[in-house]
């Protein structure tokens, strides 16, 4: 398996990052032995959000890239929503995460 950097960016006032964390762990567990671990980064200021391209909590970066970002998504300290064929959710689904992680391998 290729080395992969997986980061979960969040801010304390948004509970949705816990959902993303659980789904991310499930998706990584499906990759088998040698799957990367998750690094956590708390974003606490608007300046920090701007510097890391934080498009809301939770933001998942795979090898430094936000695979779920849309050009129109604002940067800042807010809770983030994710859109998919299934509708609106507060975190990517396990299947969406697994697809992104598999493609990054």
Query: What CATH code is carried by the domain that includes residue 91?
Result: 3.40.30
CA distances from 44 to 21, 38, 47, 57, 75 (A): 18, 19, 9, 11, 13
> How many domains would you assign to the chain?
1
Global confidence as pTM: 0.90
- Alpha-carbon distance of 18 to 11, in angstroms, equals 11
pLDDT at residue 76 in the model: 92
User: What is the per-residue pLDDT for 105?
Assistant: 75
pLDDT tens figures, 25-59: 999 988 777 778 899 999 999 999 999 999 999 99
Q: Is residue 39 part of a domain?
A: yes
Rounded-to-10 torsion of CA 53, 69, 58, 43: 0
Domain that holds residue 81: 6-104
Establish if 21 belongs to a structural domain. yes
Distance CA 97, CA 62 (A): 10
């Amino acid at each position: 398996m290729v080395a992969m950097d997986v980061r979960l960016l969040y801010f304390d006032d948004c509970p949705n990052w816990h959902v993303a964390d659980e789904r991310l762990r499930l998706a990584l567990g499906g990759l088998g032995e040698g799957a990367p671990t998750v690094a956590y980064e708390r974003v606490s200021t608007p300046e920090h959000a701007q510097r890391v391209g934080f498009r809301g909590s939770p933001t998942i970066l795979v090898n430094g890239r936000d695979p779920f970002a849309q050009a129109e998504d604002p940067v800042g300290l807010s809770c983030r929503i994710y859109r998919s064929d299934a509708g609106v959710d507060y975190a990517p689904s396990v299947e969406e995460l697994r697809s992104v992680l598999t493609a990054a391998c």
